[in-house]
Amino acid sequence: MTAALADPHPATADLAYTDASALARDLASGRTSSVAVVRALLDRIAAVDGPGDVALGAVIAVCPDAVEQAERLDAERAAGQVRGPLHGVPVLVKDNVEVLGMPATAGSLALAGRPAQRDAPIVARLRDAGLVVLGVTNLSEWANIRSHRSTSGWSAYGGLTGNPWALDRSAGGSSSGSGAAVAAGLAPLAIGTETDGSITCPSSLNGIVGLKPTVGLVPTDGIVPISASQDMPGPLGRSVLDVALGLDALAGTAQYADAVGSRVAASVRLGVADGWLSGHPETDQVFLASTQRLFESGMTLVTSSVTATPFLDDPELNVLLAELVDDLDAYLAARPGEGVRSLADVVAFNRDHAAEELRWFGQEFLEQALDTGGRAGEKYAESRAECLRWAVEENLQRAFDADPDIDALVAPAYAPAWKSDLTNGDQFAGGGNASPAPSIAGWPVLALPMGFVDGLPVGLVLIGRPHSEASLLAVGEAVERALGTRADGYARPSFRAPSRG
């Protein structure tokens, strides 16, 4: 099924929906230049993302030197100096990652006016790989760790990000702007971060590909933290190859893109985690139809036993809040500029600016974090051990040990995007059941499109063993090929206007 195209800036549509890998080939062949691409995408951002009939709200700020970056990279190419396969390709970065001179607010007014004084190491790696840092994207404020009633895609600093498939629908969280921007063709690649679902959710809801790598694979220094045991940045793109190229740039390697295309369907063995169905009938029907197509393509599919009952949130929340107070305190104390220096300062700031910050929902998670005592608190060690026991021993390792030949577990990601509701918060239709276990364990997760429900995209996830990214991406590309999700026009959003009533 292909959604009807109603592109709000048709002059840039062909470029906008060109994969990063294809764009890289055009740059290498001289068919276009980085300057031409950057200027066109800046025009598109101004037309699609800003005020007007279409106001996506995905980009918080564009880099004022984006064209200058592109000019330097074009000059390097002309001189025979090519930094890597993505030389001259633009990328957007989530605004909880420090990009020199950019806001780096994590969506909060408490960090406004305190721009980044450096590039985070992953941003430095992107530049070293030859990418143009085009700008920074909106996110769910504090990466969705503020309140259980929060609205994904909203921040006091950046406003509400819409979903390009239907502008009144959620773009998912917390890498909302990164997911929406790639889907809307504002950049071929974006960087998000994930603690529990924050890359896989916006990837699924926006009909794109996203990867959360194994925790520890790439550095997190210079990223506004939640949890050292679960936080990890990762790439979002329009294809598995694009994401593999993005991961190579983040990790400073060339191994991941080289693995893509190395697996034929008949060599793939997947464990179907049917205990993690979404609970949304239409989404689960698409998933079951997808697994049938994978089987018909020659893949081997077996049932893998996972815990059908979702994990109780309390132990994971205990861990996240304890790590949050320790890690955010350390980050804020070290960040240059005037302003909040601790989580307690953030809580006080929000109370003092309640009209802007607390208009729609509260900050109970931040307040609870202050009472945990951090990692030294009485609940932390026991909660972390309980989380790992459930995630690894009862689910992931048990599933892989039961069938050591499986390449990955497969499950639905999320049900279709729900309507954004600032008054009542997120109203999930279903899904996310496959997210907690790999998030807690720190194992890699690849999300990719599998189809549509009522014109809205839905995705599946592939979960691999720790540090199996090369194999996971190779399997993901075979799945992508079997499902046909790279067909022309498949991932061009409809930009449906908000429904009335």
Distance (Å, whole) CA 145 – CA 128 = 32
Sorted by sequence, the CB contacts under 8 Å of residue 322 that are 6+ apart come out as 369, 372, 373, 374, 375, 377, 379, 380, 383
pLDDT value, residue 501: 41
Structural domain tally of the chain?
1
Residue 198 is among the residues annotated as catalytic for this protein: yes
Give the domain extent around 210.
Answer: 10-310+388-483
Q: What is the mean pLDDT of each run of 10 residues along the chain (501 residues)?
A: 63 94 97 98 93 79 98 98 98 98 98 98 98 98 96 96 95 98 97 98 97 98 98 97 98 97 98 95 98 98 86 86 98 97 98 98 98 97 95 95 97 97 92 94 98 96 98 98 80 75 41
Token pair in block for residue 315: 């132990």
Distance (Å, whole) CA 493 – CA 191 = 20
Q: Confirm if 246 and 190 have CB atoms less than 8 A apart.
A: no
pLDDT value, residue 3: 39
Sign of the dihedral through C-alpha 72, 73, 78, 80: positive
pLDDT value, residue 500: 46
- List the alpha helices (DSSP H) in 79-229: 121-128, 176-183, 200-206
In this structure, the number of other CB atoms found within 10 A of the CB of residue 307 comes to 18
Is residue 318 a part of any domain in this protein?
A: no
Of 94, 175, 176, 278, the active-site residue reads 94
**What own/partner pairs with CB < 8 Å and gap ≥ 24 does 464-470 have?**
464/407, 464/408, 465/400, 466/214, 466/441, 466/442, 467/214, 467/217, 468/214, 468/408, 468/444, 469/211, 469/213, 469/214, 469/217, 469/247, 469/256, 469/444, 470/255, 470/256, 470/258, 470/259
Residues β-bridged to residue 34: none
Residue 435 is among the residues annotated as catalytic for this protein: no
Sign of the dihedral through C-alpha 279, 282, 285, 291: negative
Is residue 256 a part of any domain in this protein?
A: yes
Q: Confirm if 20 and 89 have CB atoms less than 8 A apart.
A: yes
Is residue 297 a part of any domain in this protein?
A: yes
Is residue 56 a part of any domain in this protein?
A: yes
Of 174, 204, 383, 420, the active-site residue reads 174
Token pair in block for residue 151: 């609205």
Q: Confirm if 185 and 16 have CB atoms less than 8 A apart.
A: yes
Is residue 222 a part of any domain in this protein?
A: yes
Distance (Å, whole) CA 222 – CA 453 = 38
Residues β-bridged to residue 385: none
Question: Could you tell me the CATH number of the domain that includes residue 419?
Answer: 3.90.1300.10
Is residue 102 a part of any domain in this protein?
A: yes
Distance (Å, whole) CA 279 – CA 144 = 23
pLDDT value, residue 473: 98
Is residue 208 a part of any domain in this protein?
A: yes
Residue 152, preceding peptide bond in cis (omega within 30° of 0): no
Sorted by sequence, the CB contacts under 8 Å of residue 46 that are 6+ apart come out as none
Residue 371 CB burial class (10 angstroms; 0-12, 13-18, ≥19): exposed
pLDDT value, residue 4: 43
Residue 419 is among the residues annotated as catalytic for this protein: no
Is residue 326 a part of any domain in this protein?
A: no
Provide the CB-side half-sphere exposure for 40 (13 A, CA).
Answer: 21
Distance (Å, whole) CA 177 – CA 159 = 11
Of 147, 150, 198, 229, the active-site residue reads 198
Q: Cα torsion at 249, 201, 10, 63 (round to 10°)?
A: -50
